[in-house]
Amino acid sequence: MKENYFDTVAKEWNTPQRQSTNEDIKEIILDGFEKSSLSDMKALEIGAGDGILALLLSKYFNKIDCVDSSEGMREECLRNKEKFSADNIFVYDEGFLENTTEKYGLIYSHKAFHHIVDVEGELKLLRKVVATGGKLYLIDFCTIPSEFHKDFPNFDGHDGFSKEEIHTYFENTGWKLTNYEIIRYGKKDDIEYEVFLAVGEPK
């Protein structure tokens, strides 16, 4: 069976830089809502990794269901949940979406979608679990050169996404793109990159 790269890096995933990025992303997500409106809201994170962003957001939400396809990441997420007594965080593998009957007021994802091969399939699944009036916050890389993932073994994902691609993906899967903005700039191994936030609402 193919080794899952994220299983191998899960224990070292939470660097100070990632912690700081997640703190910024938390603020960007919260900025879109009245904080008082969130305490009854259920949230879903796709590609939650070691759960740091969910931990930062958990005190504002009724609960957060975290989905990740890496067993190693899920274990780290559970460890962090225990460590910080975040009783309203729950952790699942990617099969969860096919079976849940839950509806979410917020679905969000940070730097995970470019690893999801079938983006439209995923967005269609998410469309089924969004609550009436709910929102999708999709945060990921704008188009990047393929060298960006040169050290990632057997990378089969996407070299980021253009605004047009996101618009088309949303159109094809029952989502209306209600906001799109560049929220961060960065540099990795001399490659400059941008990170977008795309907000979707059910059409």
Ligand X SMILES: C[S@@+](CC[C@H](N)C(=O)[O-])C[C@H]1O[C@@H](n2cnc3c(N)ncnc32)[C@H](O)[C@@H]1O
Can you give the binding site for ligand X, defined by CB under 6 A?
Answer: 6, 18, 46-49, 67-70, 73, 94, 110-112, 115-116
Token duo for residue 19: 């912690």
Least Cβ distance, residue 155 to ligand X (angstroms): 11
User: Distance (Å, rounded) from C-alpha 124 to C-alpha 174?
Assistant: 7
The neighbour count for residue 78, using CB atoms within 10 Å, is 16
Least Cβ distance, residue 120 to ligand X (angstroms): 13
User: Distance (Å, rounded) from C-alpha 178 to C-alpha 121?
Assistant: 20
The neighbour count for residue 143, using CB atoms within 10 Å, is 16
User: Distance (Å, rounded) from C-alpha 37 to C-alpha 61?
Assistant: 9
User: Distance (Å, rounded) from C-alpha 86 to C-alpha 43?
Assistant: 14
**Is the CB of 8 or the CB of 37 nearer to ligand X?**
8
Least Cβ distance, residue 116 to ligand X (angstroms): 4
**Is the CB of 42 or the CB of 115 nearer to ligand X?**
115
Least Cβ distance, residue 36 to ligand X (angstroms): 26
Least Cβ distance, residue 74 to ligand X (angstroms): 9
**Is the CB of 98 or the CB of 164 nearer to ligand X?**
98
**Is the CB of 39 or the CB of 47 nearer to ligand X?**
47
> 157-181 burial, b for 16+ CB within 10 Å, e for fewer?
ebbbbeeeebbebbeebebebeeee
**Is the CB of 39 or the CB of 95 nearer to ligand X?**
95
